[in-house]
């Protein structure tokens, strides 16, 4: 590994030495779970060897990588726009990658500025105004649509599929098929069925890889490759993190250490909110992606022993420095119920120095009140604000830890994705819940199917009708 592409995890301020033992974890508390952690590492390795954790092997799938690169190559220069249609785990990874690695205003760069790659948009919500707005700015003949759904049935994705394919067909006739790539299960689901019938280009979401663990499959990699992102490096980064997280010693394995710290903070110190606060706009999408991964994997009613537990540590996204002027007041002085994880980037891609010229144009005579900024850069200001906030929170005995990326690149992003996925799987072990199902999400999907009149959901529809009749208007205003 090139040293400048590493990531580092500093949890000093989670510990009792820094913030006292009421809010901080003692070394003894960590020592007490060392053997449990070692067992979880062993369990996970066994489950992986038995093929039960396929997301952990994704960085090594060279066949899929080469199919993505080949397809991308064959589509080069053919489209001005690339539109991902998917939701949840089928969208957030795409948003995370593009926000992290593409130019911050990628979609408004010229064709040359984008190296001839298409503009990238992600349609997840079915907000009719947003959908229509986006459709208004596209010429279908210039656009490639990537429909992504693991189940192949999700109502939001499939309703947009119907609208878009009709629009494409009306404009392009049978040639509409050239404008569609489906990413879905290999065998089941409506989208796979239609794909077979119509002959769309397609990718497979591997069996056993759930939506929120699928960013390193074609779900996230295809759109990334279409915009010129080095997906080989991203997978290399993930493989690197795999190697760094092999130890069964909690002190030498950042994934299980992270999971253990959050678990102990929650269950022993009463911190039930996990704030993820990147000091970077580029990482905001990764923080959103993390929030879904963590919430959907660990927010569970029933434990693996079939006990009712209603457990979970609520993730919240904040952005540095913006939320210093918003959420931070609550983090500093509100209830002691949060643990904060900062993410920082040591070297931004750009260095922006703050000029020391006055408005009148004379050099080296800054306005007196602003003279303290002389010689600084936005990079320094960002760093000072991060360090200042971290220090202030620590002084207030607010537990916090910091993940530092030497730089933000495909390689370090791949490391981050893998670290967080593995950490979430370990957290599932500590909480003794299934980190790979989502019964709560499924319940919402079933209700939507029933209310929309899908065949097979008639009984649920009757139940819903009865429930809705009971809803009163007593407590409404207007």
Instruction: Phi first, then psi: give them for residue 421, nearest 5 degrees.
Output: -65, -45
Told to check if 146 binds ligand PA5 by CB under 6 A, we report no
Told to check if 441 binds ligand PA5 by CB under 6 A, we report yes
At how many degrees (to 10) do helices 62-75 and 231-244 cross?
Answer: 160
CB of 434 to ligand PA5, least distance (A): 12
Told to check if 223 binds ligand PA5 by CB under 6 A, we report no
Instruction: Phi first, then psi: give them for residue 309, nearest 5 degrees.
Output: -120, -25
CB of 347 to ligand PA5, least distance (A): 33
Site string for ligand PA5, 400-439 (x = CB under 6 A): --------------------------------------x-
CA atoms within 13 A on the CB side of 404: 12
Told to check if 202 binds ligand PA5 by CB under 6 A, we report no
Q: Which of 154, 165, 217, 265 binds ligand PA5 (CB under 6 A)?
A: 154
Write out the E strands in 94-247: 119-123, 143-149, 180-184, 201-204
Instruction: Sort strands 300-302 and 308-311 into parallel, antiparallel or unpaired.
Output: antiparallel
Residue list 259-298, contact with ligand PA5 (CB under 6 A): 296
**Cβ atoms of 318 and 276 closer than 8 Å:** yes
Q: Which of 14, 65, 83, 88 binds ligand PA5 (CB under 6 A)?
A: 88
CB atoms within 10 A of CB 262: 27
Q: Which of 5, 13, 81, 149 binds ligand PA5 (CB under 6 A)?
A: 149
Told to check if 366 binds ligand PA5 by CB under 6 A, we report no
Residues annotated as part of the active site: 296, 325, 445
CB of 210 to ligand PA5, least distance (A): 5
Question: What is the residue-wise DSSP string for 187-205?
Answer: S-SHHHHHHHHHT-EEEEP
Q: What is the DSSP letter of 25?
A: B
Question: What is the residue-wise DSSP string for 422-440?
Answer: HHHHHHHHHHTS-TT--HH
CB of 139 to ligand PA5, least distance (A): 27
Told to check if 23 binds ligand PA5 by CB under 6 A, we report no
Number of residues that bind ligand PA5 (CB under 6 A): 15
Residue (of 344, 334, 345, 211) closest to 273 by Cα position: 334
SS3 71: helix
Told to check if 227 binds ligand PA5 by CB under 6 A, we report no
Told to check if 218 binds ligand PA5 by CB under 6 A, we report no
Binding part of the chain for ligand PA5, among 29-37, 81-89, 233-241, 317-325 by CB under 6 A, reads 81-89
CB of 125 to ligand PA5, least distance (A): 12
Entry field: residues in the chain = 478
CB nearer to ligand PA5: give 90 or 424: 90
CA atoms within 13 A on the CB side of 416: 29
Q: Which of 13, 81, 90, 165 binds ligand PA5 (CB under 6 A)?
A: 90
Q: Which residues are CB-contacts of 474 (< 8 A; sequence separation ≥ 6)? A: none
CB nearer to ligand PA5: give 109 or 441: 441
Told to check if 236 binds ligand PA5 by CB under 6 A, we report no
Residue numbers of the site for ligand PA5 (CB under 6 A)?
87-90, 149-151, 154, 157, 210-212, 296, 438, 441
């Amino acid at each position: 590994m090139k040293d400048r592409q590493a990531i580092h995890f500093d949890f000093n301020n989670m510990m009792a030495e820094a913030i006292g033992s009421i809010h901080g974890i003692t070394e003894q508390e960590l020592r007490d779970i060392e053997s449990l952690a070692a067992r979880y590492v062993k369990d996970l390795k066994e489950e992986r060897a038995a093929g039960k954790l396929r997301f952990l092997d994704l960085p090594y799938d060279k066949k899929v990588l080469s199919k993505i690169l080949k397809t991308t190559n064959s589509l080069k220069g053919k489209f001005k726009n690339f539109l991902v249609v998917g939701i949840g785990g089928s969208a957030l990874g795409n948003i995370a990658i593009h926000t992290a690695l593409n130019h911050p205003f990628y979609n408004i760069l010229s064709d040359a500025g984008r190296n001839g790659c298409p503009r990238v948009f992600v349609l997840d919500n079915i907000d009719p105004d947003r959908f229509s707005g986006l459709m208004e700015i596209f010429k279908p003949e210039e656009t490639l649509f990537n429909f992504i759904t693991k189940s192949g049935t999700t109502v939001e994705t499939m309703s947009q599929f119907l609208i878009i394919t009709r629009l494409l067909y009306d404009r392009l006739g049978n040639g509409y098929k050239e404008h569609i790539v489906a990413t879905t299960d290999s065998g089941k689901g409506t989208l796979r069925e239609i794909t077979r019938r119509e002959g769309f280009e397609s990718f497979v979401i591997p069996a056993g890889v759930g939506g929120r663990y699928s960013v390193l499959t074609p779900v996230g990699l295809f759109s990334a490759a279409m915009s010129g992102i080095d997906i080989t490096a991203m997978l290399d980064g993930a493989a690197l993190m795999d190697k760094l997280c092999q130890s069964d010693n909690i002190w030498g394995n950042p994934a299980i250490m992270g999971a253990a710290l959050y678990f102990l903070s929650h269950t022993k110190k009463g911190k039930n909110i996990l704030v993820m606060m990147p000091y970077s706009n580029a990482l905001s999408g990764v923080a959103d992606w993390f929030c879904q991964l963590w919430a959907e994997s660990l927010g569970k009613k029933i434990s693996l022993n079939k006990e009712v537990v209603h457990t979970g540590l609520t993730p919240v996204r904040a952005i540095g420095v913006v939320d210093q002027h918003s959420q931070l007041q609550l983090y500093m002085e509100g209830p002691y119920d949060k643990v904060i994880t900062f993410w920082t980037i040591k070297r931004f891609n750009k260095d922006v120095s703050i000029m020391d010229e006055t408005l009148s144009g004379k050099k080296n005579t800054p306005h007196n009140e602003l003279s303290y900024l002389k010689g600084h850069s936005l990079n320094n200001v960002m760093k000072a604000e991060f360090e200042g906030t971290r220090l202030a929170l620590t002084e207030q005995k607010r537990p916090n830890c910091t993940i530092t990326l030497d730089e933000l690149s495909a390689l370090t992003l791949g490391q981050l994705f893998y670290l967080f996925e593995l950490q979430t799987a370990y957290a599932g072990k500590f909480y003794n819940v299934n980190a790979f199902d989502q019964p709560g999400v499924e319940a919402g999907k079933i209700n939507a199917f029933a209310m929309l009149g899908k065949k097979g959901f008639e009984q649920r529809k009757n139940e819903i009708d009865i429930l809705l009749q009971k809803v009163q208007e007593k407590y409404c205003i207007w």
